[in-house]
Amino acid sequence: MVRRPEMRRRVLVLADQAASALSNTLLAMLVARQVGVSEFGAFSLAVVASQLVMSGIRSVVGEPLLSLYSGETPDVRRRLMVDMHGTTLFLGGLASVALWGISVAIGGISGASLLALAFVLPLMLFQDAWRFAFIIDRPGAALAIDMVWLVGLVAALPLAPHDADVKWFVVAWGVTGGLGGALGVILGGRLPGRPHPWQWLVEHRETSWRFFTEFMTARASSQLVLTALGVIAGLAALGAAKASFVYFGLLNTLHTGLYLAVVPEGARKRDHPAALRKMLVVVSGGLVVVALAWMLAGLVMPDRLGHQLFGETWGEARELMLPMGVAMVFGGISSGGLLGLRSLGDSRRSLRARLHSTLWLVLLPLAGALVGDAGGFAMGFAVGRVAAAIIWWDAFGAALRDAARGVRARLVADLAVVTDARVKAPVGGEDVA
């Protein structure tokens, strides 16, 4: 049964994720209303670049923190914050230099947007580092700094001059993120020491490298599959698939929020494998229920509403609703295995499961597209998600068995120490020979 503090933490973490998602949505809406099509495309390029950099740095800094140290004391995690911030800003600085070079190379309004991002990206990464620093012990503080960014965006963007170009909006976006980072400094207090730019990477090189490889594998495979779908089945099939992914995007937000909420709780249950397994079964079950409900809502959605939301792509997208919904159901099951491996800190099995599951998630949808265009793609994607769920839970089960053996070994060792101490204890004032 979930205890009240754990439930409160889950609610705060999910609220924080909702605030972050709402911030991104409002940002796109407000900017789209004030710039032209080309300028909005350039702004979208900056958003994609920032998300790519943020996600990459989270995989080498934030995710190892959650996976390896959620079971430690708050004092241990606080000491880690120094090098965590140092590495985040170091990698962010490198990314800004790379963005500057790319902006010079491509020029135009796209180059201008990336150049503006290069200047404000460290502020955004600083805010994100504080968010991960708070998410384990003080999710309310994480929510507060995200809300400051959201409120800052809502207040700043409507103040844009009439002739504001895309650079103005990128800078406003980054500066308001910096306000959230400033609040993080106030709430977090002085860090115990001076940040080191790469100490974190040295001490966590294996875990960070594996998580980063997972991130790149997932990102590259998804782009590869969609690009190949467009080549194989045409742009209409690609548009239908993208529309169905957009419809189920809410589930991705939920998965991300649950990742931040569940992994710290799971890490604290490492010495209780049965309890950890039970928790992840419940989480997977909840994700399955939500995915089924969202799929059913899509199946009964009136065509008029569907056309308003997705335009001409709705006709084909609706035909994909059932197979894509089944894929999302098994995606929820896969998430349970992934969260379990993260909770156990088993980056080796997690990377192996990612690589094996990605193989099926690339080959089966493309094979389906060759046979049946968008419908075949969706069917192949659903079958691929079934295979992925089996792979992730098989890996999680093996890791759980290893964890259970480790717990038993520690119990036997502790018992041996206690027994040895009793044998050597003095009897009647004299030591036993």
Q: Does residue 240 share a domain with residue 137?
A: no
Other residues' Cβ atoms within 10 Å of the Cβ of residue 312 = 12
Q: Does residue 267 share a domain with residue 195?
A: no
The helix or strand, by DSSP H or E, that contains position 260, with its residue range, turns out to be helix 249-267
Q: Please give the pLDDT value at position 432.
A: 38
Q: Is residue 298 part of a domain?
A: yes
Task: Look up the domain containing 314 and give its range.
Answer: 218-415
Q: Does residue 281 share a domain with residue 176?
A: no
Q: Which residues of 402-416 are buried (b: 16+ CB within 10 A; e: fewer)?
A: ebbeeeeeeeeeeee
Q: Does residue 191 share a domain with residue 95?
A: yes
Q: Is residue 212 part of a domain?
A: no
Phi, psi of 356 (to 5 degrees): -65, -45
Q: Is residue 425 part of a domain?
A: no
Q: Is residue 424 part of a domain?
A: no
Number of domains in the chain: 2
Tokens of 126: 């600083």
Q: Is residue 194 part of a domain?
A: yes
Q: Does residue 198 share a domain with residue 256?
A: no
Q: Does residue 199 share a domain with residue 253?
A: no
Q: Does residue 227 share a domain with residue 345?
A: yes
Q: Please give the pLDDT value at position 414.
A: 60
Q: Please give the pLDDT value at position 433.
A: 35
At 430 the three-state DSSP class reads strand
> How many angstroms separate the CA atoms of 208 and 206, rounded?
6
Q: Does residue 292 share a domain with residue 191?
A: no
Q: Does residue 149 share a domain with residue 45?
A: yes
Q: Does residue 240 share a domain with residue 169?
A: no
Q: Please give the pLDDT value at position 431.
A: 45
Angle at 241 between CA 240 and CA 244, to 5 degrees: 90
Q: Is residue 255 part of a domain?
A: yes
Q: Does residue 400 share a domain with residue 287?
A: yes
Q: Does residue 233 share a domain with residue 138?
A: no
Q: Please give the pLDDT value at position 427.
A: 52
Q: Is residue 211 part of a domain?
A: no
Q: Is residue 430 part of a domain?
A: no
Whether the Cβ atoms of residue 362 and residue 286 lie closer than 8 Å to each other: no
The structure's pTM equals 0.86
Mark the ranges of the chain whose per-residue pLDDT is less than 50. 429-433
